[in-house]
Amino acid sequence: MGFESREKVAQSVGTSTRKISCRTRNTLLGQSMSPGALQALVQRCATHLIPVEERIKEALKAAEVLHQDETGCYVMGQCHWVHVSATARLTHYACHPKRGGEALDAIGILPTFQDISVRDGWKSYQRYDCAHALCNVHHLRELTFMAEQHHQM
């Protein structure tokens, strides 16, 4: 993995600001970089990765089984949603300010997906014309909650 790719990955999974990322980079690599230069580097890397992202999305659309989930995150203090689409070999993450169908349509994987979507019971997934399977991990989580909180089995 090249330097620009490592920098993009480190920034995207970290919780630090650009300034902290620059300090960390300086500490770890002994090279200084301004926050503006880091932002330009990230933008350049993101631009180069667009064709890779498109190939991943096309491969996910062609999968026989596609796993879907979403989780909340904060972007500049505002609630956003990270939408995940995955197979055993590929994963696509998309951050969007919306959680519902508007986000899923904008991401562009589910609207044309035709096979089996493994997902939780979230209603927005139901609007897509594919076969649906409910995720057993979510079932187990709900059963564990019932057992622990309500002493029901």
In the chain, the number of structural domains is 2
> Cβ–Cβ contacts within 10 Å for residue 16, how many?
12
Contact present, 68 and 87 (Cβ < 8 Å): no
Show which of 13, 33, 53 is a domain's final residue: 53
* pLDDT at site 95: 95
Instruction: Say whether both 14 and 81 belong to one domain.
Output: no
Closest CA to 123 of 68, 62, 80, 85: 68
Taking the model in full, what pTM does it have?
A: 0.73
Contact present, 43 and 49 (Cβ < 8 Å): no
Instruction: Say whether both 91 and 140 belong to one domain.
Output: yes
Instruction: Say whether both 73 and 124 belong to one domain.
Output: yes
* pLDDT at site 11: 58
Q: At 146, which amino acid appears?
A: M
Instruction: Say whether both 34 and 93 belong to one domain.
Output: no
Instruction: Say whether both 49 and 114 belong to one domain.
Output: no
Q: How far apart are CA 144 and CA 92, in angstroms?
A: 29
Instruction: Say whether both 78 and 28 belong to one domain.
Output: no
Instruction: Say whether both 91 and 41 belong to one domain.
Output: no
Q: 70-112: per-residue pLDDT in tens? A: 999 988 889 999 999 999 999 999 999 999 999 999 999 999 9
Instruction: Say whether both 40 and 109 belong to one domain.
Output: no
Q: How many residues does the chain have?
A: 153
Q: 17-72: per-residue pLDDT in tens? A: 555 566 776 676 677 777 788 788 889 999 999 999 999 999 999 999 999 999 99
Domain with 92 in it: 62-150
Instruction: Say whether both 114 and 73 belong to one domain.
Output: yes
For the chain, the average pLDDT equals 85
Q: 4-22: per-residue pLDDT in tens? A: 555 555 556 554 455 556 6
Instruction: Say whether both 9 and 35 belong to one domain.
Output: yes
Mean of pLDDT values over 149-153: 77
Higher pLDDT, 15 or 128: 128
* pLDDT at site 1: 46
